[in-house]
Amino acid sequence: MQILAKRLKELREERRIYQRELAEILGMSFRGYQNYETGQSEPKLATLIVLADYYQVSIDYLAGRTDAPDFQAVKTEE
């Protein structure tokens, strides 16, 4: 999933964070995180949630299902 790799890299670079720093935040190896940004592997759901929370974006944005990075409030009808 190349869009995920691209967005992870863009978000990290926007915040001027090194891959090694982010790997430490996630509690994983540098190489493991690097593989996410190169598209060689994909994060598990739990890691996607942590990344989405860290960057304050939706998982749908990370996965390329939407181009709107912000969470959109879902209005429930009663």
CA atoms within 13 A on the CB side of 78: 0
Q: Which residues contact 25 (CB under 8 A, 6 or more apart)?
A: 54
Q: Distance between CA atoms of 3 and 64, rounded to whole angstroms?
A: 6
- What CATH number does residue 15 fall under? 1.10.260.40
In a domain, residue 78? The reply is no
Print the domain residue range for 43. Answer: 2-63
pLDDT band at 72 (very low <50, low <70, confident <90, very high): low
Please state, as a whole number, how many other Cβ atoms lie within 10 Å of the Cβ of residue 37. 18
Q: What is the pLDDT of residues 1-40, one digit of tens each?
A: 699 999 999 999 999 999 999 999 999 999 999 999 999 9
In a domain, residue 43? The reply is yes
Predicted TM-score (pTM) of the model is 0.84
By the 8 A CB rule, do 69 and 3 touch?
no
Burial class (CB in 10 A: 0-12, 13-18, 19+), 8: buried
